[in-house]
Structure 1
Amino acid sequence: MAASEKAVSASFMEPFKDILVNYLMPEKCYDEFFLNFNFLHVDCLKIIISKGLGIGIILGSVLVKLPQILKVIGAKSAEGLSFKSVMLELLAITGTMAYSIAKSFPFSAWGEALFLMLQTVTIGFLIQHYKGSTVKGLGFLVIYFCLVAVLISPLTPMSVVTTMQASNMPAIIFGRLIQAGTNYRNGHTGQLSAISVFLLFGGSLARIFTTVQETGDSLMALSYIISSCCNGLIAAQVLYYWNVSPAVKKKAE
């Protein structure tokens, strides 16, 4: 490519360079795409796809459990939701967040854990609140956030954080199996939000690729593989019980 054409391209893209290099690609990939016009550079394409998916997952995670929260508040009931399952899910999310911070992974590789944590802990409180145990729910919030503050502080040894991340796998499995068992016993999915379930399933699938690409951490990748399988089980139940509601189930009985 002529030097003059490269100069024109560089001049046109200059206002966007800082944003692209800081958030989507390293400078070598910026040069490949916008100076050399090599849009089929495999390594750079992988980086951009991974970064784009990571940012998309984080943006989506801001709202992923909002339908679930609104459904519970709208019904003024947490029927069909298991508090034990929520606790195990929080253990897994918190472990991933603390491990990623300790390892200094880029925010695009784990940022959704922060938003999922805030929404999941809200659901945990709502379950207690609608069971008539609001004080217990408030105590749960205080204790949980105190524990999180300790975990992400320098006071917690790396070995403890790594152990937490390793415990994600059984926590995810048991948490999802508890929820699946609750759905099976009830014969319906209660106030479980289909939108939230499918978004979680899609997000965990995408995270397998981004984790391998951005961190190369096999422990985190395995956690997301297991999470995808377990989220897929709940998604399958949502489809199976699609036309069954608590009211219909009780009437049938």
Structure 2
Amino acid sequence: MATSEKAVSASFMEPFREILVNYLMPEKCYDEFFLNFNFLHVDCLKIIISKGLGIGIILGSVLVKLPQILKLLSAKSAEGLSFNSVMLELLSLTGTMVYSIAKSFPFSAWGEVFFLMLQSLAIGFLIQHYKGCTMKGLGFLVIFFGLLAVLVSPLTPMFVVTTMQASNMPAIILGRLIQAGANYRNGHTGQLSAVSVFLLFAGSLARIFTTVQETGDSLMVLSYIISSSCNGLIAAQVLYYWNVSPVVKKKAE
């Protein structure tokens, strides 16, 4: 391509250069795409797809559990939801967030964990609230944020953070099995939101690819593989019990 054409392209894209380089691609990929017009550069395409997915997952995570929260508020009931399962999920989310911060991974590689953690906290509180244990739910929030402040501070040794991330795998498995067991015993999925379940499943699948690309951390990759498998189990139950509700079950009995 002529030097003049490259100059025109560079001039046109200059206002967007800083945003693209800071959030979507390294400078070498910017040069490949917008100066050399090499749009089929494989390594750069992988980076952009990974970054794009990561940003999409983070934006989507803000709403992932909102349908679940709204369903609880609408029904004024937490029937079918396991508080122990929520606690184990919080352990997993917190471990991933603290580990990612300690390792200085880019926010695009783990940002959704922060928003999922906040939404899981809200669900945990609502479960306690609708069980008539509002004060217990408030105490749960205070204790959690106190522990989180300690974990993200320099006071916590790296081996503790790594151990927490390693414990994610049994925590994820146990948490999902508890929820799956509750669904099986009840013969329905209660107030479990199908939208939230399917979004979590899709997000965890996409995270396998983005984690490989952005961190290369085998511990995090394995965590997301296990998470995807367990989320897939709950999604399968939602489909299996699709036409069954607590009301229908009671009438049948």
TM-score range, shorter chain: over 0.9
* Alignment-mate amino acid for residue 220 of structure 1: M
* Alignment-mate amino acid for residue 40 of structure 2: L
Residues 39-80 of structure 1 deviation map (CA, whole Å, 9 limit, x = unaligned): 000000000000000000000000100000000000000000
User: For residues 105-124 of structure 1, what are the structure 2 equivalents within 5 Å?
Assistant: 105-124=105-124
- 3-state SS of the aligned residue for 2:37? coil
The alignment-based identity, stated in percent, is 89
Q: Count how many residue pairs are aligned between Structure 1 and Structure 2.
A: 253
* Alignment-mate amino acid for residue 158 of structure 2: M
Distance 1:170 1:23 in 2: 33
Q: Report the alpha carbon displacement of residue 23 of structure 1 after superposing the two structures with TM.
A: 0.2
- 3-state SS of the aligned residue for 2:247? helix
Does 1:247 pair with 2:247? Answer: yes
Residues 104-136 of structure 1 deviation map (CA, whole Å, 9 limit, x = unaligned): 000000000000000001000000000000000
- 3-state SS of the aligned residue for 1:62? helix
User: For residues 104-253 of structure 1, what are the structure 2 equivalents within 5 Å?
Assistant: 104-253=104-253
Q: Report the alpha carbon displacement of residue 213 of structure 1 after superposing the two structures with TM.
A: 0.3
- Could you list the structure 1 runs, at least 4 aligned residues long, displaced by more than 2 angstroms after superposition: none
Distance 2:144 2:79 in 1: 23
TM-score, normalised relative to structure 2 = 1.00
Question: What is aligned with 1:36?
Answer: 36
- 3-state SS of the aligned residue for 1:227? helix
Q: Report the alpha carbon displacement of residue 82 of structure 1 after superposing the two structures with TM.
A: 0.1
Does 1:83 pair with 2:83? Answer: yes
Distance 1:149 1:69 in 2: 25
Instruction: Give structure 2 stretches of 5+ with no counterpart.
Output: none
Distance 1:210 1:151 in 2: 25
* Alignment-mate amino acid for residue 57 of structure 2: I
Q: Report the alpha carbon displacement of residue 212 of structure 1 after superposing the two structures with TM.
A: 0.5
Distance 2:9 2:61 in 1: 35
Distance 2:60 2:154 in 1: 30
Question: What is aligned with 1:50?
Answer: 50
Q: Report the alpha carbon displacement of residue 235 of structure 1 after superposing the two structures with TM.
A: 0.1
Distance 1:111 1:16 in 2: 23
* Alignment-mate amino acid for residue 92 of structure 2: A
Report the RMSD for the aligned CA atoms in angstroms. Answer: 0.3
Distance 1:250 1:145 in 2: 39
- 3-state SS of the aligned residue for 2:200? helix
TM-score, normalised relative to structure 1 = 1.00
Distance 1:135 1:29 in 2: 53
